[in-house]
Amino acid sequence: MANEILDNRGRGEATWQWPRIHPEAHKFAAIAGIASATAAFFAWETLAWPLGFLVLGICAFFRDPVRVTPQEDRFIVAPADGLVTLIQQVEAPRELVIDDGSGTKGLAPGPVTRISIFMSVFDVHINRAPIGGTVRRVVYMPGKFMNADLDKASEENERQHILIERGDGVAIGFTQIAGLVARRIVPFVKPGDMLAVGQRVGLIRFGSRVDVYLPAGTEPRVLLGQKIVAGETVLAELGQTLLIEGVSQ
């Protein structure tokens, strides 16, 4: 069946199709299209053509292709398209660790591995859930608009933290970070929402970065400089100890 989930047992129907355009693009494309049509009406061709190409560029930026997501419980999948620019041992953001008064626990304190994924304007900017589970936190933090490729952007730029917890207790936190050109983080989810792995959680407009915080003891399966695909690339694999601990909680 065409609507069945594609898997490694031959189920589903795989056909090529044009990527859909996310509705967030409509207003921007409409403005550029009207401006292009107006310029063409007045025979301002030097302006009409660039504006026409801008409409195509906007549609390309907001493309939302179908992704086939690995379904193994031990996999943490990439939440963003882009380039792996940093793999570091850091302390998880305070907003994902402290007691926020909601009655749900945050990430465990202590060093974790942070993988930073830089999204250029040419990448797909729809972000996806790295694991399936319940959204426990969505914390927006105002800030600057420095180059998202800088290490300090994780703490100084406008950003949004998201924490997802599975039913077995395994929790993954990640942060959407605005950059020089990106000026708005658009969330699709809120605390309490149930997500499947690879489900869309939001987008960042016009170039940005996503940081993922892996549980202690989890080894990345990507390399510095690797190009990865949201919802498809396996970012890391939970060790057997973590899976057993999660089930026992």
Q: Which residues are catalytic?
A: 208
3 state SS for 3-68: CCCCCCCCCCCCCCCCCEECCCHHHHHHHHHHHHHHHHHCCCHHHHHHHHHHHHHHHHHCEECCCC
DSSP secondary structure, the chain, as one string: -TTSPP-TTS-S-----PPEE-TTHHHHHHHHHHHHHHHHHTT-HHHHHHHHHHHHHHHHHTEE--------TTEEE-SS-EEEEEEEEEEPPHHHHS--SSS---PPSSEEEEEEEEE-TTS--EEE-SS-EEEEEEEEE--B---TTSTTHHHHB-EEEEEEE-TTS-EEEEEEEE-SS---EEE---TT-EE-TT-EEEEESSSEEEEEEEPTTPEESS-TT-EE-TTTSEEEE--HHHHHHHHH-
